[in-house]
Amino acid sequence: MHTLRSIGSSVAGIAIAAGVLSAPLASAVEPAEIQGDATPSTIREVNFTDSADAENINYAITTEGENRVVDIAELKDKDKWKGYAFGHKSGQGKHYGNHVKALTATSAAMGGREVPLAVITPDGNFDKKRPTLYLLNGAGGAEQGMDWLTATTNHDIDPETEGMQDMVDFYTSKDVNVVIPQAGAFSYYTDWVSSPNSGYLKGPQKWETFLTKELPGALEEHIGGNGKRAIAGMSMSATSSLLLAEHNPGFYNAVGSFSGCAATSRPLPRLYTQLTVNRGGGSADQMWGAMGSEYNVYNDALVNANPNNLGKSETYVSVNSGLGGANDWGVPGSSTLIVEGGVIEAAMNSCTHDLKAKMDSQGMKADWNFRNTGTHSWPGWRNDLFTSWATFERGFAKDAAEAPAEPEVKPNELSIEAPQAEEDAQVKDAPSAADQSPDKDFVEGKDAEGAEAPNAAEAAAAAETAVAAE
């Protein structure tokens, strides 16, 4: 077991020597083994400047000499990442357009829906076989312009490299393809028991089927996957990453969970889930049925954290304390971030200690990063891209091993019979708290930074309930 209390050199010191990622080793479980009767995705590459393509952003692009200028404010929230992908030049001078490819993938389980994908690739093509890192967005995701690309642009990821190295610089210095699904807001990236039809959640929500059965085989063949893969997420998708790995033992060589709550089938975690899903126009009952039901317990990452489910994957788990740190002050909206983001992160901290206690009791190893300060916000998650890399690299370097037996899924001692959570709980989207500075060749329109949070009153009430329960 590894507990990370500091960031930077202590983490880098355990990194595997360069060059291990290119070895053509297969994961213990291949996509075809879990695909079942699912229909593989159809993969399509998107040209942002092709006026014949519905995904183009020509209306927001101008040129000034040799520079491409993209007016982010002119783009719809769901398209802002495309503006960065096409128009941004990184801190190391790399033009994002040469290293971030836009693809779409169909999902038969979701009625033929085309899911947009941002793919970061080191050399701008898919000629070399590499591991694949699936990086999931948080609750608002690309639909609210708060995805990994928009929230990491102009922010240094690697503190040990001279000069600013933002997200694309960081991952293009590694031998890995990074895949970011740019859809799925408020869905928990799970298979819902019924189809919502409100807000951001309309039609079948079969995200687990898509991410594990429909997408990997077709996509990894297209982008040159070498059979090694990892999955990571933050906030909402921190839970998702654990669940997808637990439901498919041995499929992911490594798993990352940043500021999440593994539990979902007990009253307080159920409340957190309900508040998140409600923001998107759905309910926890539509997603997993009644609290404590068999399907709800099946989708409880704390219940399912055992050596049989998660033990074959290298695991990184992080969380902040909830106390405002240096990165949380002095930006627009920081007072809101400190209050609301602090309360939420304190709750996530409690959840993460529960997960650690469970895994410790079963002799399960993980890289644990408990930060002394920090709120439920982007500074910590950006840091996680750096600190989690040693874990992913170690997972990619492992030889293929025989997958554990498929577990029998049934309620256990943590399964409870309890009243359903109130479906009318409503929260407002948190104000942005941005700390981005525009690129000289680029025009920003809207802040990308913000905590995905309930309003202060509801967050405080939830916190009081949590304290009372403890």
- Give pLDDT, residue 127: 92
Cα 230 from chain centre: 11
Two tokens at 123? 């050399």
Two tokens at 328? 């949380």
Q: Find, among 29, 390, 44, the residue nearest to 229 by Cα.
A: 29
Alpha-helical (H) ranges within 323-439 are 334-336, 342-361, 378-387, 389-397
When computed from its CA atoms, the radius of gyration of the chain, rounded to whole angstroms, is 21
What's the average model confidence in pLDDT over 321-344?
60
pTM of full prediction above 0.75: yes
- Give pLDDT, residue 334: 45
Structural domains in the chain (count): 1
Strand partners for 116:
104
Residue 196 has a CB neighbour count (10 Å cut-off) of: 21
Q: Find, among 177, 178, 171, 128, the residue nearest to 24 by Cα.
A: 128
- Any residues with CB less than 8 A from the CB of 66 and at least 6 apart, and which? none
How many helices (DSSP H) and strands (DSSP E) are in the chain? 17, 14
Instruction: Measure the CA–CA gap between 442 and 95, rounded to whole angstroms.
Output: 11
C-alpha dihedral over 281, 282, 284, 289, to 10 degrees? Answer: 170
| pLDDT band at residue 228 using 50, 70 and 90 as cut-offs | very high
pLDDT digits (tens, 9 = 90+) for 376-422: 889 999 999 999 999 999 999 986 444 444 434 333 333 222 223 33
pLDDT digits (tens, 9 = 90+) for 55-78: 778 788 887 776 768 888 888 899
3-state secondary structure 277-320: HHHCCCCHHHHHCCCCCHHHHHCCCCCCCCHHHHCCCEEEEEEC
Q: Find, among 82, 36, 33, 90, the residue nearest to 60 by Cα.
A: 82
Phi/psi for 365 (5° steps) reads -90, 150
Q: What is the CATH number of the domain that holds 325?
A: 3.40.50.1820
Residue type, 441: D
- The HSE-up count of residue 154 (CA atoms within 13 Å, CB side) is 18
Q: Find, among 81, 98, 159, 118, the residue nearest to 387 by Cα.
A: 159
Indicate the length of the chain as a whole number. Answer: 470
Residue type, 2: H
Residues of the domain holding 278 = 2-469
- Give pLDDT, residue 122: 95
Answer yes or no: are the C-beta atoms of 74 and 59 closer than 8 Å: yes
- Give pLDDT, residue 450: 38
pLDDT digits (tens, 9 = 90+) for 299-308: 999 999 999 9
Instruction: Measure the CA–CA gap between 174 and 392, rounded to whole angstroms.
Output: 11
- Give pLDDT, residue 4: 53
Cα 8 from chain centre: 21
C-alpha pair distances (Å), 415 with each of 13, 214, 294, 297, 411: 41, 30, 8, 6, 5
- Any residues with CB less than 8 A from the CB of 231 and at least 6 apart, and which? 133, 134, 135, 136, 241, 244, 245, 252, 254, 255, 256
| pLDDT band at residue 326 using 50, 70 and 90 as cut-offs | low
How does the average pLDDT of the chain come out, rounded? Answer: 80
Q: Find, among 204, 231, 201, the residue nearest to 215 by Cα.
A: 231
Residue in the structure block whose two tokens are 């329960």: 469
pLDDT digits (tens, 9 = 90+) for 446-466: 333 333 333 433 443 443 333
Instruction: Measure the CA–CA gap between 210 and 35, rounded to whole angstroms.
Output: 10
Please tell me whether residue 333 adopts helix, strand or coil conformation.
coil
pLDDT of 440 over the 80 cut:
no
| pLDDT band at residue 95 using 50, 70 and 90 as cut-offs | confident
